[in-house]
Amino acid sequence: MSYGNRIAELREERGWTQEYLAALLKITRAALSHYEKNRRKPDFETLTQLADLFQVSTDYLIGRTAIPTNTLDNEVQQFADDLELSDADLLDKYSLMVDGRKLTAEETKRFIAFVRAERMMSP
């Protein structure tokens, strides 16, 4: 399903008119119509606003996944949020170990890259 179809479907599920959604997004109804008809692609800011309004992921909106939301339990979400710490802070806070050995800063960077890549690929 294309991004335009997803936007139109989500809007219609909520009973919203194009005028109403366009006003929420602070764009013209014509611009929204172009998005829904796949004539134009929404910019990043608009795409993010749409995801927030519809409470879905941007990946769902653009058709990368058929699952509207990716939900994590609180413990996993907190861990994921903490991955934004510096490598040194992450190593100190979690003492990440593999095979009984503490990860180096470089290994931590690769670990974070792996988790991000895995998230992008999971439905």
pLDDT of residue 15: 97
The conformation of residue 85, written as its DSSP 8-state character, comes to S
User: Is residue 10's pLDDT more than 90?
Assistant: yes
Query: How high is the pLDDT of residue 100?
Result: 85
Determine the Cα–Cα distance for residues 68 and 66; give it in Å rounded to an integer.
6
Rounded Cα–Cα distance for residues 15 and 97 (Å): 51
Distance CA 37, CA 2 (A): 9
| Two structure tokens written together for 122 | 């999971």
Could you give the domains of the chain?
3-61 (1.10.260.40), 74-121 (no CATH)
Which pLDDT tens digit goes with each residue over 12-63?
999 999 999 999 999 999 999 999 999 999 999 999 999 999 999 898 999 8
CA 63 to chain CA centroid, nearest Å: 12
pLDDT of 70 above 80: no
Q: What are 87-121's pLDDT values in tens digits?
A: 566 556 666 778 888 877 778 778 878 888 888 88
